[in-house]
Structure 1
Amino acid sequence: MTHSVRSIAHPADSTATRALRKVAIVAAFAAITMPGAADAKMVLRPGVFDGTWNVIFATQAGNCSSTNSVPFTVTGTRVSSAGGGKVTGGISRAGVVSVSIQVGASHASGSGRLVGNSGSGRWKGIITGDRCSGTWQATRT
């Protein structure tokens, strides 16, 4: 036995449901037809941590070189490479940062916090086949 939705629903419910559907359709249409408007708002509002950051990685465990330096770019809530490998990650308004780095077969991930023009945190990864970990220090250039 098959019931249709109309035979079970109350008239007041179907009116409210239709109204909600209309709102959802209008919102979806606006998001699809005007994606640039949302992107423009994000671009126009710079993040407090925007800029190029020099990050120095110090190895504390593993057979990796003792220090390495990698530049990052922060734009809004995104962290990316400023040269030297593939860098992806994000940063919150409070400065909590999380990144992944890949250079050839080597890869690492790290997290920490930026405050003002400096920051620090921890990292771990596999560098040239060796499992390593340590700390990082960052300064905005």
Structure 2
Amino acid sequence: MAISERSFPALRKHSPRLRWLFSATLLAAVATGAGSAHARRIASYDGTWNVTFATTSGNCSASNTFPFAVSGSRVSSAGGGKVTGGIRRNGRVAVAVRVGLSHASGFGRLAGNYGAGRWSGVISGDRCSGSWQATRS
């Protein structure tokens, strides 16, 4: 459905300034609505995620679980260590984790209340890598 001044016959009787004001208001309303929808899509991942890391290569612990927090497009720590990262509206996530001298980075995807991906890093001096799985609590 196209909205124009023909949709509102009363506008035809008024000055071009009023028609311009109507058009600008309509454009602002449409732009604001699109921005809100974008924010709602990103916010759909908000919450605490319990992430289990499984080592498939290297001399590191077989598995560890840590809580991460998602708020908007940001990923941060919900427990120990420093976690920085981001999430796109399609669920694609990338993070970096640092605890003392150990550090790792990972990427993957969240969908609904679950997620999965790959990670790699240096843990206690050993280069390791593996996979991760996440569930939203």
TM-score calculated relative to the size of structure 2:
0.70
% identity of equivalent residues: 67
Query: Could you tell me how far apart the structure 1 residues matched to 2:133 and 2:79 are?
Result: 18
For residue 124 of structure 1, the aligned residue among 102, 120, 123 is: 120
Q: What is residue 105 of structure 1 aligned with on the other side?
A: 101
SS in 2 for 1:60: strand
For residue 81 of structure 1, the aligned residue among 77, 82, 86 is: 77
* Structure 1 residue 60: Cα displacement: 0.1
Query: Could you tell me how far apart the structure 1 residues matched to 2:114 and 2:81 are?
Result: 22
Q: What is residue 62 of structure 1 aligned with on the other side?
A: 58
Query: Could you tell me how far apart the structure 1 residues matched to 2:87 and 2:43 are?
Result: 9
Aligned amino acid, residue 89 of structure 2:
R
SS in 1 for 2:43: coil
- Matched residues, number: 99
TM-score calculated relative to the size of structure 1:
0.68
* Structure 1 residue 84: Cα displacement: 1.1
Q: CA RMSD in A?
A: 1.3
What pairs up with 1:11-50 in 2 under 5 angstroms? 47-50=43-46
For residue 92 of structure 1, the aligned residue among 88, 92, 99 is: 88
Unpaired segments ≥5 residues, structure 1: 1-40
Query: Could you tell me how far apart the structure 1 residues matched to 2:79 and 2:50 are?
Result: 11
Query: Would you identify which runs of 4 or more consecutive aligned residues in structure 1 move more than 3 Å?
Result: none
Unpaired segments ≥5 residues, structure 2: 1-35
